[in-house]
Amino acid sequence: MLKQKNLIKKREWDYLFVLDACRFDYFQRTFDDYLDEGNLSKVISPATHTTIWCKKIFGGRRKNDDIVYVSGNPYINSKVPIGKLDARGYFYKLVDVWDSGWNEEKNTVFPQEVIKGVKKAMIKYPGKRIIAHFMQPHAPYLTLDNTTSGSKPEFNIDNQTDNNFFYFLRRKMRNFAAKVIRLIGQRKTWRLREELGIMEPSGPIYEVLNQHGEKELKRAYQKNLETVLEGISGLIENLSGKIIITSDHGELLGEGNNYGHYINGTENELFHVPWLEIKK
């Protein structure tokens, strides 16, 4: 199986569309309902979290001066580093669609906002390759009522040291939690955390599981995928060149009684992502 990093580094593409947390198997059985061409392969992502994925693929001494990154994901931003990731030095330009296009009701960025960012970038930065990072099929789920409290991330630009310190602590806690998850499964880990009253689990995946069950979670994930593919299909009609659709990492939807994704995950469903090549 080919490594995603090597394929991206070959520089044989004009547009790279990243679908956040997109599993290969769901993509495989869905994409041709929206895209009438393309060669699909299963590839291996280098990471199970966006920040680590971005750093492993695009970090290094040489800046990617030919790439404009249209980001619907707050982790990849032009404002501040997130932990050990400082994407500001990676690309010619970072376009913060996650900031300008944030939907307060759903607490995410809709595909159309990223598509608007791509169209503007094409005009403003002619001759540059474009990466567009879509938040879907990652939760929150667009077809469900939003029950998760939250808002657009606010970064404290004047306090980056504290941001890095707390990121370090959170990462240590996540690493420990990942070890427990591998031993007893995610649902049992959540129950244990609730009973102990520490690190109380929250978020759209946990809430959907509690309120609707695993079947509805899978359906909502599928609908998110369909929504982003529908948006991309319309965008591609107006593009020329080589287009790639892929993902930063996968998602667990019940495998080993685990859900979502986490740093240091080992499951194949977290690493196996789509690589669809389209030539226009």
* CATH number reported for the structural domain that contains residue 74 in this entry: 3.40.720
- The residue among 198 and 135 whose pLDDT is bigger is 135
Over residues 99-118, mean pLDDT: 95
Confidence (pLDDT) at 195: 56
Q: What is the pLDDT of residue 185?
A: 61
Q: How confident is the model at residue 103 (pLDDT cuts 50, 70, 90)?
A: very high
Predicted TM-score of the model (pTM): 0.86
Higher pLDDT, 79 or 210: 79
DSSP code for 32: G
Over residues 219-248, the pLDDT tens digits come to 999 999 999 999 999 999 999 999 999 999
Does the structure show a pLDDT above 90 at 110?
yes
Q: Is residue 253 pLDDT above 90, yes or no?
A: yes
Give the range of the structural domain holding residue 166, as residue numbers without chain letter. Answer: 4-279
Structural domain total, the chain: 1
User: pLDDT grade, residue 202 (50/70/90)?
Assistant: low
